[in-house]
Each structure stands twice: as C-alpha cells, then as structure tokens.
Amino acid sequence: MATIKDVARLAGVGLGTASRVVSGKGSVSPATLARVRAAIEALDFRPSHAARTLLSGSSQMIGVYIPVLSGTFYTPILQIIDNELRAAGLHMVVAFGAGLGGARQQAIEGIAFLIERGCDGLILMTNVLQEEDIAALRFQHKRMVVLNHSFDSLAGQCFTVDHMLGGRMAARTLLDHGHREIAVVAGPASLPDNVVRVNAFLDELRANGVDTASLWVTERDFSPAGGWSAAKELMDSKHPCSALFCANDEMAVGALSYFQEAGIRVPHELSVIGYDDTPSAEFSAPRLTTVHMPWREMTQNGINALLNSCYDLQRPVTRGYPVTMTLRASLASHAEAAKPARRRKPA
C-alpha cells in the first residue's frame, strides 16, 4: 500500500509539500499541485484514517454517549445523529453504560473512551453526571453538547425539551376527557426529567381539584416489563381508576400488553396514555395516545451547534420546541367507558 512518502518521492517534492496537497491546507504552486495529484493517482494512494487525522488535525468522528443500547427511545435518536453526520461526511462513534460501577462511573468511563478515540466533538445523553464531572470533562474536551439535560456550567451547550409542559399536557388531556380517577406509573425517581414530568402531571391535576394523595402511583424502570408488572399490580390492588398515565411509551406498551392478556378492554374499560411518542406508540394495540416530545428538533439543533463549534460552520441553531399530544385509540372519554376495569386471569 502506497504511503505519503511514496507520493512525495514520485512527485519529486518534500514530505511537507505532499502532506499539504493531501490535507488541502497550505499553499503550493499549480505545477507542484499537478505533480503531486498525478503521483497520487498513479500510486492509487488512499490515506488511512489515522493518516488523514494527522494531516488534517481532525478525526471527522463525533462521539455519542447514551446510557443503554436498547429500547425504542435511544435508537431513533441515534438514527437521527448518524444520518446527519453521514450527510456531513462525518462518522459516529457510540459508547454506552456497561461494566462495573454505578451509572455515574459508567458514564465517565464511556465518555473517556470517546475522548481517547480522538473524537472531534461529543454528544452526551446522560443525567447522572455531576457539575464537577462536567468541569473535568471540559478540561479534557471543550467541544460537546448535552441532550435532554441541563448543567449550569454548560448551559449554552445543553439542548432539552419542556418536560414540565409535557407533564401538564398529559394531565390536561385526561381531565378534558373527563378522567379524575387516574393511576400513574412513574419512571425512576433518580432521573430528573422523569421527576419534572410526573410532578407537573400531578400539579396540573391538583390545580383542577383532584386529590392526588388518593391516586394510585408506582415507580418502575422505564421498561416494557416494568409497565407490565405495574399494570398487574394496579389490577391486583382493585384501586378504582378510569385512566392510566405512564411516564414513557415503553412502560405504556408493556401495560397495554398486560391488559390485553387480562381481558381488560382499552379504552372501553380503561384509557392509557404514554409519553415521548416513540415508534412503538404508533404500532401498539390499541395505538397509543401519548405526549409528543420534540426529540428530533432537540437532537438536530444539538448536532448543528456541535458541528458549528467543531468545524466552523454556520448551521442554524434554535431553542424552544413545540410539545403536542398525539391522540390515538388508547384514549376515550370517561363518559364512553362502559364499566370499571375488571380482569380475567391471564393464560
């Protein structure tokens, strides 16, 4: 395989001159440029990624950290990032939480892996890091953006969505459909965005005269299995309710699966709504009513800001993205509900 030294030798120029032609940086005379390009073509020279990085000072790689590589939430976001980077001639390197230690240590190690790989910039989706972790990261790598979380020391580089509005909108939708006896499946209390949406949901109910202390509320892990077990626990409790709010779509889909097996007709006996509007919501049975969070807009603008920083581009960057409700078949008005939810024993 030909090397840059071979190109320089064949063209009769110094190594630095050949490097300037390959990298496109620095000036050379037209005649020299023609000789070096002819040598490149004659030798079929293709610089390796390592060589291109050395020549240009850029790896053309963007590192992405996510907590888990599973489920229907992170996958669409990774697809958006990958599509955008490929269109810009860049590559995505992904790290996720794995190995020993807690979530915070896993995040620190995963991000260190991306930095060690020479990524030009970082996209971080994590809310377990502390401000001191961010300060240490900025000392090692200043070009980064954070998605779906805000750090005070990195405010201008954080892109998130309005979870308070999302939680209130979910509650408002159920109230507008006549539901006041509502069960809630929250996500982990350790995740700030979950806490914000659930608290906003309960605050909106309380503001409309609902005694939230009497509601059935449980916490799960944002997984379909968590939604299934919560739905079973709700039915076993015999707590009166006409609607169920799940703090993400994956738990809502798990709950729908349990209700279907238990013979509980959604939405005729019990309405169910989710949060996120991930692809699974559109194809659940019945199709899931959910809060549409603008993940695409958030991700797109975070990418634009990072590429502007890394490569001196002028991509548009905006903040403040619309939150809406996607109404589908899993929601009915309380007046339309035939009877309280009752269960048959799953097979």
Instruction: Point out the domain boundary residue: 129, 160, 191.
Output: 160
Of 278, 228, 219, 282, the residue nearest 251 (C-alpha): 228
Q: Which residue has the higher pLDDT, 81 or 345?
A: 81
State whether 198 and 331 are in the same domain: yes
State whether 217 and 334 are in the same domain: yes
State whether 181 and 215 are in the same domain: yes
Residue 52 sits in a domain of what CATH number?
1.10.260.40
Residue 152 sits in a domain of what CATH number?
3.40.50.2300
- Is residue 22 in a domain? yes
Chain segment 233-275, per-residue pLDDT in tens:
999 999 999 999 999 999 999 999 999 999 999 999 999 999 9
Of 170, 151, 346, the residue nearest 245 (C-alpha): 170
Q: Give the containing element (helix H, strand E) for 292.
A: strand 289-292
Q: Are 64 and 123 in contact (CB under 8 A)?
A: yes
State whether 145 and 267 are in the same domain: no
Q: Which of 46-55, 71-80, 122-131, 330-339 has the lowest mean pLDDT?
A: 46-55
State whether 190 and 333 are in the same domain: yes
Domain range enclosing 28:
4-56
Q: Which of 13-17, 97-101, 311-315, 327-331 has the lowest mean pLDDT?
A: 97-101
Give pTM, 2 decimals.
0.82
Of 111, 121, 124, 138, the residue nearest 299 (C-alpha): 124
- Is residue 238 in a domain? yes
State whether 188 and 237 are in the same domain: yes
State whether 47 and 88 are in the same domain: no
Report DSSP state, residue 19: H
On average, the pLDDT of the chain sits at 90
Instruction: Point out the domain boundary residue: 15, 31, 56.
Output: 56
Q: Are 112 and 279 in contact (CB under 8 A)?
A: no
Q: What angle do CA 56, 52, 139 make, to 5 degrees?
A: 55
Give the number of other CB atoms < 10 A from CB of residue 29.
9
Chain segment 113-133, per-residue pLDDT in tens:
999 988 999 999 998 899 999
157 confidence band (pLDDT: 50, 70, 90):
very high
pLDDT of 70: 77
pLDDT at residue 281 above 80? yes
State whether 97 and 34 are in the same domain: no
State whether 286 and 226 are in the same domain: yes
Q: Are 145 and 158 in contact (CB under 8 A)?
A: yes
Amino acid of residue 339: K
- Is residue 167 in a domain? yes
57 confidence band (pLDDT: 50, 70, 90):
low
State whether 253 and 153 are in the same domain: no
Instruction: Point out the domain boundary residue: 141, 160, 179.
Output: 160
pLDDT of 50: 56
Tally of domains within the chain: 3
Copy the structure tokens of residue 145.
Answer: 């953006």
* Separation of alpha carbons 151 and 157, rounded Å: 9
Copy the structure tokens of residue 224.
Answer: 């379909």
Q: Are 233 and 259 in contact (CB under 8 A)?
A: no
pLDDT of 159: 97
